[in-house]
Amino acid sequence: MNLFANVHELVLESLASLQSSRALPADLDFKNVTVEAPRDSSHGDMSTNAAMILAKQAKMRPREIADLLLKKLVSNTQIEHIEIAGPGFLNLTLSKSIWLEAIPQIVKLNKEFGRSSIGKEKRVNVEFVSANPTGPIHVGHTRGAVFGDALANLLDFAGYNVTREYYINDGGAQIDALARSVYLRYLEANGNSVEFIEGTYPGEYLIPVGESLKEGFGDVFVEADEAEWLPKFRAHAVRSMMELIESDLLSLGIKMDVFYSEKSLYGTGRIETALEELSAKGLIYEGYLDPPKGKLPEDWEPRKQTLFRSSEYGDDVDRPIKKSDGQWTYFAPDIAYHYDKISRKFDHLINIFGADHGGYVKRMKAAVRALSNDEITLDIKLTQLVRLYKNGEPFKMSKRAGNFISLRDLVEQVGSDVTRFVMLTRKNDAPLDFDFDKVLEQSRDNPVFYVQYAYARINSVLKKARVANINVCDGSLISADMQGVEHESEVYIIKKVCEWPRLVELAAKHNEPHRVAFYLYELASEFHAFWSKGKDTPSLRFIHEDNVMRSLSKLAVARSVAIVISNGLGILGVQPMDEMR
RNA sequence: GGUCGCAUAGCUCAGCUGGAUAGAGCAUCUGCCUUCUAAGCAGAGGGUCUCAGGUUCGAAUCCUGAUGCGAUCACCA
C-alpha cells in the first residue's frame, strides 16, 4: 500500500510506452524521476519532475515531454485532474475515492503498514555502542545507542535483514586496569582498606563485583601475586561489566543480537590470518611514518613499525598495526573483527561511532575495502556530542567531581521514551542540546508529549465511540463505508498518512531515523488541528450518534493516524501511550 | 597546520539525496475551554539560507575557495 510508489510506477510505464511508440528516444535514464507531494497543496496531490529530468537527455523541451506524458496519463481513471505547471512539473490530482479506499487497507495492514521491501532481505550489520566494558554506560554513549537501535529498527522495517552487534573491547590494557580495580574491591570486601591510585577505576559499581569474588574465592588471593589472580579477575570483571551494560541497554529497550569479543580474536591466529590477507595484497610493510603535519608533539620520534598501507584506499597516511614494542595496536584486532564480519557474508556494514572517533573512519573503511576486494561497503555514521543542560546552564561532567551521569541515571530521571525521542529529533551529525528541565516539561515545547498526546486522543475518541455503542474494532473499521468522509481537511490527513510508506523508504535509504520523528510531529500537528476544527464545526467531529456509517468512516481515518504513529514510534523505540492524564 | 562535520528567523532546529512563494517550535503580540482531553487550536510579526565564485532550465541543497564554530591528529582504546 504505497500510493506514491503506484503512481511512480504508472509514470514510468507511461514513459516506457512513449518510448516504444518512438515519441521518446530509447536510451533514457529514469533514475531521478520522482513522484512526490508538492509543498503547496494547490499544486495537486502529487507532482513528477519527469519532463524536466528527461528534457536534456531527450534533447526536447520539458513542456513538450510533459505534454506527451499528460496525454498518456489523462485516460487513467485514478487520476482526476492533471496539469502542466511551472518549468515542466506535471501535477496530478487523484480521484478522491483513491484516497478514501486507502484507509480500510491501512487499518487492515495495521502494523505492517509502511513496511517496505526495498531492503530485499539484504544482510546488514549495524555495530553500535561498543563501549569499553570497564563500567556502566554513560550519557556519552546514549546517543549512539539510541541512534543505532533506531536505525536498525528502521532498516528492518524497510525490509533489510538486520543484525545488531556490540564489539566488546576486552583485549586491551584497560581490562588489566579494570581487573586491578576489581582486585582492590575484593581486598576491601576482605576487610582491607585500599587506595585507588591513578589508572584504576574507583567507581562504586565495582563494589559488588569485589564482593562476589570474595564469595567465590574467599581470601585465597589476598596475599597472592598478581599473575595468579589477574586472568581470573579479568574474566570475571568483564563478565560482570557486560551484564551491567546489557541491563543498561535494556533499560533503553535495546537488545543486541551479537556480542563479539575482541579477546576471542587473540591466540587463535585470526588476527594473523586477517593480516596475511592484507599482506598477500602487498599492503603490509615495515616502515617509518612521517611526523604529523603542523605542530609537532614534543615527544615525537621516528619509530619503525608494522604499517598498513591504508593510504592506497583513501586514508591520509598509513596506519600502524603493531606498536614499537611489538604488541598489536587496537587497529589490528579491529581489522580481524571486520574481516570476520565480511566472512559472515553481510551485504553491508554500518558502524556507529562517536564524533571523537572520526579519525578512524578512513582507516576502517580502507581495511574493509582491502579485505573484501571492494565488494562490501562499510558506512560509518558519526554521532555528534550531546551537550547537557541543567537549569539552562551547561552541565559539565567530570569523573573527579563525581557528577558523571550514567545512562541509568538518565533513564531513571527522564524515562526511556523521552530520552530516545529527544535524541532522535536531530540529525546524527549535528550536535544536540539535552536540557533536563525542558525534556521533562510537559508542554508543546516537548515533541514527545505532543505526538503521544495525539495518539492518546485517538484512543480516547475510540473509547467514547464504544460507549456510544459504535463497534470500532478494526474489523468493523475495515469494512467501513468511507463515504462519510466529506470534508477536504479529512482528505488532507489521509494524504499525510499515505505518505508514510514513502517516508520510511526515504529515511531508510538515507539512514536517517530522525525523519521519522519529524514526520510524526507533523502528522500529530495535523491531527490536532483537525481535532480542533470539530469545536466550531460539529460535522467534523468523529462521533455522530445519529449516523453510525458516518462515524465509522471518520473513526477509520483516526485509527489510521494512530496506526502510523504507533508504527513510527515503534521504529524510534518509543511506547505509544493509550492515555495521558 | 592536516582531516571530518556543522553554518537557515531573536533562540533551538526541519527542509523529502537540484524543484514552484524557504518551513516548524520557543520567545513576542491577538483570539479560542457550557463542546470527542486547552499537554490543544486559529492568527500576526520576524529571512541577503555565513561570504565570494562556479555548474544549469532552476541552487539553502552539488563543486571550488574564504570566514567562523565543533571533533580529532605517531606511540592510547
Indicate whether A353 and A274 sit together in one domain.
yes
* Residue A105 within any structural domain of the chain: no
Residue listed under C-alpha cell 495525539: A454
Q: Of the ranges A79-83, A199-203, A376-380, which one carries the lowest mean pLDDT score?
A: A199-203
Q: Which residues pair with A166 in a beta bridge?
A: A259
Q: Are residues A467 and A363 located together in one domain of the fold?
A: no
Domain range holding A367? 266-379
Decide: A543 and A470 in contact? Cβ < 8 Å. yes
Instruction: List pLDDT tens digits, range A388-419.
Output: 887 667 776 655 555 668 899 889 888 899 99
A21: in domain:
yes
Q: How far is CA A25 from CA A65, A74, A322, A425, A456, in A?
A: 11, 21, 59, 45, 54
A449 found inside a domain: yes
Task: Looking at the structure, tell me whether residues A365 and A454 fall in a common domain.
Answer: no
Residue A211 is assigned to a structural domain of this protein: no
The reply to whether A91 Cβ lies less than 7 angstroms from strand B is yes
Whole-number distance in Å between A438 CA and B27 C1': 15
By C1' distance from the Cα of A538, the closest nucleotide is B35
Mean pLDDT on A243-257: 96
Report pLDDT for A397.
Answer: 65
User: In the prediction, which pLDDT does A159 show?
Assistant: 96
Q: Are residues A449 and A546 in the same domain?
A: yes
Claim to verify: residue A456 and residue A545 sit in the same structural domain = yes
Last residue of a domain, one of A360, A379, A398: A379
Please state whether strand B lies within 7 Å of residue A177 at its CB atom.
Answer: no
Which residue shows C-alpha cell 511512480? Answer: A8
SS3 A163: strand
DSSP string of A4-24? HHHHHHHHHHHHHHHHHTTSS
- Asked whether the predicted pLDDT for residue A331 surpasses 90, the reply is yes
For residue A127, what are the contacts with CB-CB under 8 A and spacing of at least 6? A148, A165, A166, A167, A341, A349, A350, A351, A352
> Residues, chain A, total?
581
A106: phi then psi, degrees, rounded to nearest 5: -65, -45
Question: Which class for A321: exposed (0-12), middle (13-18), buried (19 or more C-beta within 10 A)?
Answer: buried
Percent of chain A topping pLDDT 90: 67
**A144-165 tens-digit pLDDT:** 999 999 999 999 999 999 999 9
| Amino acid code (one letter) for A534 | G
Cα separation values, A203 from A117, A189, A207, A209, A407, Å: 47, 15, 8, 11, 15
Q: Which nucleotide is nearest to A542 (CA to C1')?
A: B36
Q: Say whether both A447 and A363 belong to one domain.
A: no
Beta-bridge partner residues of A348: A124, A377
C-alpha A440/C-alpha A449 separation (Å) is 10
The verdict on A367 and A475 lying in the same domain is: no
- Output the distance from A294 CA to B65 C1' rounded to whole Å: 21
What average pLDDT score do residues A207-218 get? 95
Q: Which three cell numbers stand for residue A521?
A: 510531529
| pLDDT for position A138 | 86
> Which CATH number is A482's domain given?
1.10.730.10
Mean of pLDDT values over A545-566: 94
Proximity of residue A389 CB to strand B below 7 A: no
* Model pLDDT, residue A452: 92
Final residue belonging to a domain, choices A40, A62, A94:
A94
Domain finish residue from A94, A122, A149: A94
Domain at A67, CATH number: 3.30.1360.70
Say how far apart CA A260 and CA A410 lie, in whole Å.
Answer: 26
Do A454 and A375 share a domain, yes or no? Answer: no
> What is the overall mean pLDDT for chain A?
90
* Residue A318 belongs to a domain: yes
Q: Which of helix, strand or coil describes residue A409?
A: helix
**Cα A575 to chain center, whole Å?**
16
Residue A57 CB in 7 A reach of strand B: no
What CATH number should be reported for the domain holding residue A286? 3.40.50.620
Instruction: Give domain status of residue A328, yes or no.
Output: yes
End-to-end CA distance of chain A: 35
For residues A346 and A460, membership in a common domain is answered with no
Supply the DSSP string of A55-71, one letter for each residue: HHHHTS-HHHHHHHHHH
* Percent of all residues in chain A with a pLDDT value above 70, rounded to a whole number: 96
pLDDT of residue A554: 94
Residue A126 lies in a domain: no
- Does any domain span residue A250? no
The helix/strand/coil state of A94 is strand
Listed in sequence order, the residues at least 6 apart from A510 whose beta carbon sits closer than 8 Å to its beta carbon are: none
As separate numbers, helices (DSSP H) first and strands (DSSP E) second, chain A gives: 20, 15
pLDDT at A67 over 60: yes
- Interstrand relation of A123-127 and A348-354 (parallel, antiparallel or unpaired): parallel
- Which residues are CB-neighbours of A169 under 8 A, at least 6 positions away? A130, A132, A133, A175, A262, A330
* pLDDT tens-digit map of A6-36: 999 999 999 999 999 999 988 888 888 889 8
- The yes/no answer to whether this complex scores an ipTM above 0.90 is yes
In angstroms, how far is B43 C1' from A417 CA? 33
Q: SS3 sequence, A283-307?
A: CEEEEECCCCCCCCCCCCCCCEEEE
In this prediction, residue A487 has a pLDDT band, given cuts at 50, 70 and 90, of confident
Cβ burial of A488 (10 Å; 0-12, 13-18, 19+) is exposed
The span from the CA of A411 to the CA of A571, in Å, is: 19
Residues A451 and A374 placed together within one structural domain of the fold: no
CA dist list (Å): A551 to A76, A289, A525: 31, 75, 22
* Per-residue CB contacts under 7 A with strand B, chain A residues 310-349: 316, 319-320, 323-324, 327, 329-331
What are the phi and psi torsion angles at A323 (to 5°)? -75, 170
A359 CB inside 7 Å of strand B: yes
Residue A255, burial from CB neighbour count under 10 angstroms (0-12, 13-18, 19+): exposed
Residue holding cell 590477507? A277
Same domain assignment for residues A450 and A555: yes
Q: Integer distance in angstroms from CA A511 to C1' B36?
A: 38
Reported as a single tens digit per residue, the pLDDT across A270-328 is 999 999 999 999 999 998 888 776 666 667 777 888 999 999 998 988 999 988 788 89
Provide the number of structural domains found in chain A: 3
Q: Which of A81, A31, A71, A146 is nearest to A381 (CA)?
A: A146
- Exposed/middle/buried for residue A412 (C-beta within 10 Å: 0-12, 13-18, 19+): exposed
Whole-number Å distance between alpha carbons of A270 and A264: 9
